[in-house]
Amino acid sequence: MSAIIEYLQGRGVAFTVLPTPQSETALETAQAHDVPASELVQTVVMNYRYGFAMMIMPLDAELNLFLVQAALDDPDARRATHREVVAHFTGMDATCIPPLGLYFLTPMWVDTEIAGREQIVFAAGKPSLLIRMRSADLFRDEPYVVTSIATSGSTVNVPDVADIA
């Protein structure tokens, strides 16, 4: 995803690219680079009254729909379907949306656990490409809201948007 890398370079922030061409999941890519699963974040795309919203949360946590609906102030908010995600985030794997709200012109809500991290590791549009950077650098120019949107999980929960109708 050279466009994502170019975007980050254009912002003048330091980051490390972690590629693993043979990986089929972001978790496999992380393991190939000795990145603990607990450092990975995921972006869950929601569909709500104003369009789409990005929920940034730990990979090993579960989205709490009630917390998300309260954060979005929309009791009808729901996870975006695979088709909706692919259409809005052109060229991105639906399970690997990077947490770049300005790039996608999509508002972001960041889970409180993520906001407190020193660094962040995220998939950059496909499962075989991760970006590691300081949280302060990632969120420096991004408008976002910090709130609780996830509950801790004991297993890695990769969103399977393919199963969402």
Task: Say what the pLDDT of residue 156 is.
Answer: 39
Task: Say what the pLDDT of residue 153 is.
Answer: 59
The whole-angstrom separation of Cα 121 and Cα 41 is 6
Task: Say what the pLDDT of residue 1 is.
Answer: 54
Residue corresponding to tokens 């991290």: 117
The whole-angstrom separation of Cα 10 and Cα 111 is 26
Task: Say what the pLDDT of residue 40 is.
Answer: 93
Q: What is the mean pLDDT of each run of 10 residues along the chain (165 residues)?
A: 89 94 87 89 97 96 96 98 95 95 96 93 94 94 94 52 44
Q: Name the H helices within the chain.
A: 2-10, 26-32, 65-72, 82-88, 101-104, 112-115, 135-139
pTM: 0.87
Task: Say what the pLDDT of residue 42 is.
Answer: 95
The whole-angstrom separation of Cα 135 and Cα 115 is 7
Task: Say what the pLDDT of residue 31 is.
Answer: 87
Helix, strand, coil: what percent of the chain each, to 5?
A: 30, 30, 40
CB atoms within 10 A of CB 20: 17
Reading the block at residue 93, the tokens are 């794997």
